[in-house]
């Protein structure tokens, strides 16, 4: 590694930053840790052998006899028989996207100071990690290659920093290049709140630098390691069920045999083959705003077929529900699968299941399986016979201890974003949720049922952020629970009231002849 702009000491400091803790070694080359027992490096480091064994070293731990497989594009996947320890938050996911072109990237390797830049003639292999930055583009040769091809990523050296504002060849602050011994070194990129490894050093090529492109071999990487990796997911509404939609086809008090989603045929039904039990009914004018709801009598649940489950295969999701609970659930605030299911995907054994459930405390809890973590609401019980909006989110790409994000990937909101509880659940590796049948209004694998009503259910791909949750809760409360009042001053005509210092302002009124009455008092004017 060399860096003409800042020198070796700054390059060493940069390489020690937390996002680059996945850097590793094999003899004579650098590697990167992508899972507790899996690494990537360059195929030319093992003379392009198809397979074999090598010693891998990470964070002072060595694993001899690690099996490598040549997967093309100058890549090898290395799998150790014994996982490294202490890897949580220090692994880097391989990149499966396609947005590398022109992006800022960080190269980390330990070949030495290099022969072309700061540090003179070496040594080539001093065992010290160094880092530099670059941008994926080539503009220093007459006929440059495309920065991104099927198998490789290309970049060049654009220093020094006095050229930061040069429009033809803008440099990065830690601009540098690779040197002998840097082979296999990871090329990192930051996208949507996460760090990824997008390439490994393949070597210089006709005046520029080349990395094997990770995306090209993602299928083989996953096959060789047995892992899949979560990455941030753009939230999108997948399915929405609104009980009011049923009033056009069902009379008040009728049994609900099928509750199709808006804009599609995916339906909650009373099919026992999918796990439904008992009978639910449609209740007209059930919510404070006069909307219909499904009545769950404490002895019934509806079911959604596995083929319709929009959460199946997702590494992040959100669920929203407008619900009235007339009796507390069962079980303590320990595991959701021991509570009364509101919407449930529980499976027997260690599985990637999940559920939204109600314990005896009446505080809704979101549970994620294969770590069996349940995050319960922080506020009061919702088992009060009143209507509530519950929103729960989970983002499997939020990684513990990676110095990025909040390290809290599960959130439960009740009636507003101020009443939120957060916790860390399943993350990063092999966390996609199982595509199984879902149950609504009762636990999937136990005779525990909701005594209450549900007016609307939504399932989202991806984890909604707090701003989106706030907007969603306001919308659902306005539709089902209580309309929001828009107040406008009609006098004075300009719509403004001037309040002098130490004077008061009182506003009284009502919605026509009905309650509630609005009474807003400002005790004193601005002081």
Q: How far apart are CA 211 and CA 43, in angstroms?
A: 11
The full DSSP string for 399-444 is -TTSSSS-S--EEEEESSTTSEEEE--S-SBS-PPP---EEESB-S
Q: What is the DSSP string of 73-92?
A: TTEEEEE-SS--SS-TT---
Residue 3 lies in a domain: no
Do 379 and 459 belong to one domain? yes
Residue 65 has pLDDT above 80, yes or no: yes
Residues 265 and 132 grouped into a single domain: no
> How far is residue 310's CA from residue 276's CA, in Å, rounded to a whole number?
18
Residue 527 clears pLDDT 50, i.e. is over it = no
Residue range 7-13: mean pLDDT, rounded: 80
Q: What is the pLDDT of residue 306?
A: 98
**Residue 501 carries which DSSP code?**
T
- The pair of three-digit structure tokens given for residue 115, joined into one six-digit string: 């022969």
For residue 151, pLDDT beyond 70: yes
CA angle 484, 488, 494 (to 5 degrees): 160
Look at residue 486 and tell me whether its pLDDT is greater than 50.
yes
Contact call for residues 386 and 452 (beta carbons, < 8 A): no
Residue 282 lies in a domain: yes
The answer to whether the beta carbons of residues 129 and 15 sit under 8 Å apart is: yes
Does the pLDDT value for residue 461 go beyond 70?
Answer: yes
In a domain, 365, yes or no: yes
Q: Do residue 463 and residue 501 come from a single domain?
A: no
pLDDT for the residue 377: 96
Mean of the per-residue pLDDT values of the chain:
89
pLDDT of residue 128: 86
Residues 426 and 291 in one domain: yes
Bridge partners of 293, per DSSP, are 283
Same domain, 518 and 429: no
For the domain that residue 344 is a member of, what is the CATH number? 2.60.120.200
Name which residue leads in pLDDT, 121 or 204: 204
Both structure tokens of 223: 């096959």
Residue 1 lies in a domain: no
Please state the rounded mean pLDDT for residues 248-262. 98
Confidence of residue 380 (pLDDT cuts 50, 70, 90): very high
Q: Can you read off the two tokens belonging to residue 211?
A: 């990395």
Residues of the chain by 3-state class (helix, strand, coil), percent to 5: 10, 35, 50
Per DSSP, the residues of 218-256 read: HHHHHHHH---B------EEEEEEEGGGGGGTS-TT-B-
- Give CA separation, 342 vs 325, 338, 362, 370, 443, in Å: 10, 12, 12, 20, 7
Has residue 4 got a pLDDT over 80?
Answer: no
Contact 328, 380 (CB under 8 A): no
What 8-state DSSP symbol labels residue 301? B
Q: 246 and 205 share a domain?
A: no
Query: Does any domain span residue 231?
Result: no
Interatomic CA distance for residues 411 and 366, integer angstroms: 8
Contact 51, 70 (CB under 8 A): yes
Contact criterion met (CB below 8 Å) for 301 and 271? no
Do residue 326 and residue 430 come from a single domain?
A: yes
In a domain? residue 2: no
pLDDT bucket at 139, cuts 50 / 70 / 90: confident
Q: What does DSSP assign to residue 8?
A: H
215 with 251, same domain: the answer is no
Report the pLDDT value the prediction gives residue 193, as an integer from 0 to 100. Answer: 87
Calpha distance 482→410 (Å, rounded): 28
219 and 264 belong to one structural domain: no
What pLDDT was estimated at residue 34?
98
166-195, pLDDT tens digit by residue? 555 567 878 888 877 789 999 999 998 899
Q: 468: part of which helix (H) or strand (E)?
A: helix 466-476
Do 194 and 307 lie in a common domain?
no
Q: Are residues 233 and 397 in contact, defined by beta-carbon separation less than 8 angstroms? A: yes
Threshold 0.75, pTM exceeds = yes
Distance (Å, whole) CA 158 – CA 186 = 20
Q: What confidence score (pLDDT) does residue 265 get?
A: 97
Across residues 320-328, what is the average pLDDT? 98
State the pLDDT at residue 526: 47
State pLDDT tens for residues 346-355. 999 999 999 9
The pLDDT of residue 18 is above 50: yes
Q: Which of 198, 225, 252 represents a domain boundary (last residue)?
A: 225
- Percentage of residues in the chain having pLDDT higher than 70: 85
Residue 122 lies in a domain: yes
Q: Which domain holds residue 161?
A: 8-225
The residue among 150 and 128 whose pLDDT is bigger is: 150
Cα dihedral sign, 379-383-387-391? positive
Q: Give the C-alpha separation, 417 to 435, whole Å.
A: 29
* Predicted local distance difference test score (pLDDT) of residue 436: 98
For residue 310, being part of any structural domain is answered with: yes
Q: Are residue 403 and residue 497 in the same domain, yes or no?
A: no
Contact 480, 322 (CB under 8 A): yes
- Domain-terminating residue out of 225, 252, 283: 225
| The pLDDT of residue 168 | 58
Say what percent of the chain tops pLDDT 90.
73
Is there a single domain that holds both residue 306 and residue 449?
Answer: yes
Confidence of residue 91 (pLDDT cuts 50, 70, 90): very high
* DSSP-based three-state secondary structure for 174: coil
CA gap 8, 74 in Å, rounded: 27
What CATH number is given to the structural domain containing 184? 2.40.10.120
**Would you state the pLDDT for residue 126?**
73
Of 115-124, 143-152, 189-198, 485-494, least confident by mean pLDDT is 115-124
Q: In the chain, how many domains are there? A: 3
**Could you tell me how far CA 446 lies from the centroid of its own chain?**
30
Q: What is the pLDDT of residue 402?
A: 83
Residues whose CB falls within 8 Å of the CB of residue 512, separated by 6 or more in sequence, listed in order: none
Q: How confident is the model at residue 514 (pLDDT cuts 50, 70, 90)?
A: very low
Q: What is the pLDDT of residues 383-404, one digit of tens each?
A: 999 999 999 999 999 998 887 8
The predicted-structure confidence for 220-248, as pLDDT tens digits, reads as follows 999 999 999 999 999 999 999 999 999 99
Mean pLDDT over 371-386 rounds to 96
């Amino acid at each position: 590694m060399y860096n003409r702009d800042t020198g070796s000491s700054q390059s060493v400091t940069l390489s020690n930053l937390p996002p680059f803790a996945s850097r590793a070694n094999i003899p004579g080359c650098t590697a990167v840790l992508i899972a507790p027992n899996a690494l990537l490096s360059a195929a030319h480091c093992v003379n392009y052998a198809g397979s074999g064994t090598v010693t891998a070293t990470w964070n002072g731990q060595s694993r001899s006899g690690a099996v490598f497989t040549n997967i093309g594009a100058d890549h090898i996947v290395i799998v150790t028989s014994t996982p490294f320890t202490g890897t949580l938050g220090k692994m880097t996911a391989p990149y499966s996207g396609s947005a590398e072109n022109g992006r800022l990237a960080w190269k980390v390797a330990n070949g030495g100071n290099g022969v072309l830049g700061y540090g003179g003639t070496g040594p080539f292999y001093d065992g010290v990690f160094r880092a530099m930055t670059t941008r994926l583009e080539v503009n220093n040769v007459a006929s440059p290659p495309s920065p991104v091809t099927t198998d490789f990523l290309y970049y060049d050296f654009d220093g020094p920093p006095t050229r930061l504002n040069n429009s033809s060849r803008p440099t990065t602050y830690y601009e540098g290049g690779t040197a002998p011994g840097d082979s296999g070194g990871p090329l990192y990129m930051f996208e949507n709140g996460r760090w990824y490894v997008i390439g490994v050093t393949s070597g210089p090529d006709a005046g520029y630098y080349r990395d094997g492109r990770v995306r090209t071999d993602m299928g083989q990487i996953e096959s060789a390691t047995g892992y899949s990796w979560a990455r941030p997911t753009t939230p999108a509404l997948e399915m929405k069920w609104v009980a009011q939609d049923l009033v056009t086809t069902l009379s008040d008090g009728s049994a609900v045999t099928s509750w199709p989603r808006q804009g599609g045929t995916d339906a909650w039904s009373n099919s026992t083959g999918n796990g439904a039990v008992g009978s639910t009914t449609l209740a007209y004018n059930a919510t404070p705003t006069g909307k219909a709801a499904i009545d769950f009598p404490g002895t019934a649940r509806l079911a959604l077929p596995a083929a319709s489950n929009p959460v199946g295969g997702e590494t992040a999701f959100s669920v929203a529900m407008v619900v009235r609970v007339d009796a507390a659930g069962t079980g303590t605030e320990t595991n959701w699968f021991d509570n009364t299911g509101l919407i449930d995907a529980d499976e027997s054994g260690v599985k990637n299941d999940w559920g939204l459930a109600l314990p005896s405390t009446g505080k809704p809890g979101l549970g994620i399986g294969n770590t069996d973590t349940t995050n319960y609401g922080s506020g009061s019980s919702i088992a009060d016979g009143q209507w509530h909006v519950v929103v729960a989110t989970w983002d499997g790409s939020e990684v513990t201890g990676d110095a990025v994000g909040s390290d809290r990937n599960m959130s439960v909101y009740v009636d507003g974003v101020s009443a939120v509880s957060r916790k860390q659940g399943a993350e990063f590796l092999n966390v996609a949720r199982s595509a199984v049948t879902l149950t609504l209004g009762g636990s999937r694998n136990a005779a525990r049922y909701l005594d209450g009503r549900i007016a609307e259910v939504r399932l989202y791909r991806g984890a909604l952020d707090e701003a989106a949750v706030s907007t969603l809760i306001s919308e659902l409360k306005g539709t089902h629970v209580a309309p929001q009042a828009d107040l406008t001053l009609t006098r004075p005509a300009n719509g403004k009231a001037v309040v002098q210092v130490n004077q008061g302002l009182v506003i009284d009124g009502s919605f026509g002849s009905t309650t509630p009455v609005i009474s807003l008092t400002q005790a004193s004017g601005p002081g």
